[in-house]
Amino acid sequence: MIDFESYIKCCEKKLEDKFELIDGIAFKNQEKVLKAFQKNKIAVRHFAGTTGYGYGDEGRDTLGQVYADAFHAEAGIVSPHILSGTHALTVALFGLLRPGDTLLCVSGEPYDTIRPVISGEGIGSLKDYGVNFKCVGLTSDGLFDFDNIGDTLSDGVGVVYIQRSRGYELRDAFSCSQIGEVCRFVRGRGFKGCIFVDNCYGEFVEECEPTDCGADIIVGSLIKNAGGGIAPTGGYICGGRDYIQRIGGRMTAPSIGLEVGSYEGGYRYFYEGLFMAPHVVAQALKCSLLIGIAMTDLGYKNYPSIDKMPFDITRCIQFDDADAMINFIREVQYASPVDSYVTCEPWDMPGYDDDIIMAAGTFVSGASIELSADGPVKPPYIAYFQGGLTYEHGKCALKNILNKLAKQ
Ligand SMILES: *Cc1c(COP(=O)(O)O)cnc(C)c1O
Q: Which atom of ligand 1 is nearest to the CA of 223?
A: 7
Q: What is the pLDDT along the chain (408 residues), one digit of tens a residue?
A: 678 999 999 999 999 999 999 999 999 999 999 999 999 999 999 999 999 999 999 999 999 999 999 999 999 999 999 999 999 999 999 999 999 999 999 999 999 999 999 999 999 999 999 999 999 999 999 999 999 999 999 989 999 999 999 988 878 999 999 999 999 999 999 999 999 999 999 999 999 999 999 999 999 999 999 999 999 999 999 999 999 999 999 999 999 999 999 999 999 999 999 999 999 999 999 999 999 999 999 999 999 999 999 999 999 999 999 999 999 999 999 999 999 999 999 998 887 788 999 999 999 999 999 999 999 999 999 999 999 999 999 999 999 999 998 888
Domains of the chain: 4-27+274-407 (3.90.1150.60), 49-266 (3.40.640.10)
Nearest alpha carbon, ligand 1 atom 7: 85
Probe target for ligand 1 pocket from 91, 196, 224, 352, with the most ligand atoms within 8 Å of CB: 224
Q: In what order do the strands lie in the sheet with 356-359?
A: 302-303, 315-318, 382-386, 372-376, 356-359
What is the model's pLDDT at position 1? 60
382-386 and 372-376 strand pairing = antiparallel
CA distance 216 to 85: 18
Probe target for ligand 1 pocket from 93, 200, 372, with the most ligand atoms within 8 Å of CB: 200
pTM of the model: 0.97
Q: What's the gap in Å between 397 CA and the centre of ligand 1?
A: 23
Assign 268 to helix, strand or coil.
helix
Nearest alpha carbon, ligand 1 atom 3: 85
Q: What's the gap in Å between 173 CA and the centre of ligand 1?
A: 13
Indicate if ligand 1 lies below 6 Å from the C-beta of 165: yes
Nearest alpha carbon, ligand 1 atom 8: 85
Q: Comparing C-alpha atoms, which of 94, 216, 95, 100 is closest to residue 155? A: 100
Nearest alpha carbon, ligand 1 atom 6: 85
Indicate if ligand 1 lies below 6 Å from the C-beta of 201: yes
